Each structure stands twice: as C-alpha cells, then as structure tokens.
Amino acid sequence: MAPAPFRIALSGKGGTGKTTTAALLIDAFRRMGETPILAVDADPNANLHEALGMEVTESLGSMREEAFTKAIPPGMSRHDYVRLRFRQVLVEGTGVDLIAMGRPEGTGCYCFSNDLLSECLAGLQAEYRFIVIDAEAGMEHIARGTIGVPDLLLIVSDPGARGMRTATRIRDIALSLGLERERMALVVNRVRNGVAEVGGEPVPVIAEVPADPAIEAADLEGRPITGIPADSPARLALSALAEQIRERAAAR
C-alpha cells in the first residue's frame, strides 16, 4: 500500500512571497523526482498557476456554482456530475497537477456542496506523494475542512516586525483550529540584514530565504518563478527546505 501523501500548507499575509515560496518548493520536489505532486491554490487571489507557468481556465468556486445551479445531463446524478466536473477542473502538468479553489459565488448555504468537494479532494489526494497548498492567512479552507489537516504548516513572513507579528497571529489561529504546535514552522523570506524580534513565543524558523534579484526580475517581466536560475539564492534555500521536508515525511 502506498504511503499517504504528505500535505504542506503555506500561509502568510499578502506580499510576503508565500506563492513564490510554494512554487519553488513544488519545483524542488519535482526536481528531486518526488512526483506526482498536487498543487492546491486555496488563496482567493489565485496566482500560483502563474508562478508555476501553468494555465487555469476554471476554479472549483465557479464549477460549484454551475454544478449546483444549472441543469445536469440526463441520466446523471448531481454527485456524479460534480465528480466529473471536478476532474475537468484539474490542470495536469509535467510531474505537477494543479487545482484552484477560487472564490465561492452567489449566496446561500453551501454545506452540501462543500462536503462533496471535500470528498472529491480526499479521493484525489491519495494519488500524490506531496500536496502543497497555497492557503490564505485566515486559513478558511482548513477551518471548513475542505482541504484537510496539513502535516506541516509553513507560515511565510518577511523579516520585518509587522510580518513577524502577523506570523505569530497565524500560528495562534492554527492552534485554535486544532493544529499541533509541532507541525508549524516559519519561513522568513527576502532576508537581507537579519530578522526582527517581536517578543512573545516565536514560531520556530525552518528556513531563511535570501532576497533574490532573479525573483524580482521574473516578477517584473511576468515570467514563471520556476524559471529562475538553478543557483539562485532563493532556489538553493528552498531546495534545502524541500530536502528537510522529504526527510520529515519519510520519518512519519
């Protein structure tokens, strides 16, 4: 029996490089041969596909509205139709598949549809070795149980005091949701001259990622982040982090 996939969720306030970190981590696993990988873009401001150089034409949010508000083909139950459309929303790539959660549209209660989407995601996840989830700071999808409980929560911050305080608040939200303290770690991004100390109980730092001109250039030019040079400082730091995570997954 194949081992259960190792699920990594990344959370952080906007502008900290969370999506860039997720993309380079995914690419590091791919380069290690740890495929297939499932990338889940659970941030309503979805742009993980751009960082990975993949194209997304539909999200689960828009699919859900269609599946639960429009007529379905004759002879097909709504359950079966949702499962079919779920597979169609999945974007397949080389070693990496991507699904975008998107924003729910319309109004009303979506408990039943959320449960069905959770069931579809749970069935899909068994096919992968690693699942990397680009989550929002409030972690609503984790709170609702849509994407399950991560094996590792990486809280991404810039080195400034405001970012570090936000990281602590995200840790507290995760604790309130029942995530274990030992499953959380901090990735400090764009480090140039040290990291701010903000007092209280800090989140353990698992990686410091140097400021990288190659990432800035890729952002400015609209190129996928995964195309930066193999020896760029950020790529090297996140490749080392991927190796740590691989060892952690093997030791489960």
pLDDT digits (tens, 9 = 90+) for 136-170: 777 776 777 766 789 999 999 999 999 999 999 99
CATH 3.90.550.10 fits 6-250, yes or no: no
Q: Is 213 within 8 Å of 235 (Cβ atoms)?
A: no
pLDDT score at 108: 46
Long-range contacts of 80-83 (CB under 8 A, 24+ apart): 82/113, 82/116, 82/117, 82/120, 83/120
Q: Which tokens sit at 48?
A: 């993980």
**pLDDT bracket for residue 117 (50, 70, 90):** low
What pLDDT is stored for residue 247 in this prediction?
Answer: 96
Is 0.85 surpassed by the pTM of this model?
Answer: yes
What residues does each domain of the chain span?
A: 6-250
Give, rounded to a whole angstrom, the gap between the first and last alpha carbons of the chain. Answer: 15
**Is 106's pLDDT higher than 70?**
no
Taking each helix axis from N to C end, the angle separating 18-32 and 233-250, rounded to the nearest 10 degrees, works out to 60
Q: How far is CA 40 from CA 1, 121, 163, 196, in A?
A: 24, 10, 24, 31
